[in-house]
Amino acid sequence: MTILMENGDGADAVAKGGMDVEVSLGDLRKQLDDFAKARGWEQFHSPRNLLLALVGEVGELSEIFQWKGEVPRGLPDWNVSEKEHLGEELSDVLLYLVRLSHMCGVDLGRAALSKIEKNAIKYPVGRDYSRAAAAASSKWSK
């Protein structure tokens, strides 16, 4: 199974339907729960253990980008093994995030929809965000 698209540009690929396996957060949560139960891993899955495992995977994700300088969207110059490696690290972060949410009793899907609604109110359409983006990088403006 490939995780790559013929066309490296994300936005175009969506228009082309290149990215539409429907994978739900609930499916992933259930698969990870079965996976852990089958291997006796629940004993290791305390919230802070999973959080540190997530931080570890974010570190591996960062290592992929660390010496590259800025890279264009769709990563047109990356080779197949680099993109597969990237897909695996992005997945590792997602899977620990889904598992952490589950072990904390948080419904991640509902929380995400709720956060998008909240942000739609916080950041109304039509405002000039060029300065806001700069400000967002300063703690004091929060």
Q: Which of residues 96-135 bind a copy of itself (CB under 8 A)?
A: 97, 100-120, 123, 125, 127, 129, 133-134
Binding a copy of itself (rule: CB under 8 A), the pick from 10, 16, 77, 131 is 10
Binding a copy of itself (rule: CB under 8 A), the pick from 16, 59, 121, 122 is 59
**Nearest-approach distance from CB 93 to a copy of itself, in angstroms:** 6
Q: Is 16 among the residues that bind a copy of itself (CB under 8 A)? A: no
Binding a copy of itself (rule: CB under 8 A), the pick from 16, 65, 122, 131 is 65
Q: Which residues contact 41 (CB under 8 A, 6 or more apart)?
A: 35
**Nearest-approach distance from CB 73 to a copy of itself, in angstroms:** 5
* Rounded distance between C-alpha atoms, residue 74 and residue 5, angstroms: 9
Q: Are 26 and 109 in contact (CB under 8 A)?
A: yes
Binding a copy of itself (rule: CB under 8 A), the pick from 16, 29, 80, 121 is 29
Give the torsion through C-alpha atoms of 53, 56, 62, 67, to 10 deg: -160
- Retrieve residue 16's tokens: 């082309």
**What backbone phi and psi angles, to 5 degrees, belong to 36?**
-70, -45
Q: Are 47 and 105 in contact (CB under 8 A)?
A: no
**Nearest-approach distance from CB 14 to a copy of itself, in angstroms:** 7
Binding a copy of itself (rule: CB under 8 A), the pick from 16, 55, 80, 122 is 55
**Nearest-approach distance from CB 77 to a copy of itself, in angstroms:** 11
* Through-space distance between the first and last CA atoms of the chain, rounded to whole angstroms: 43
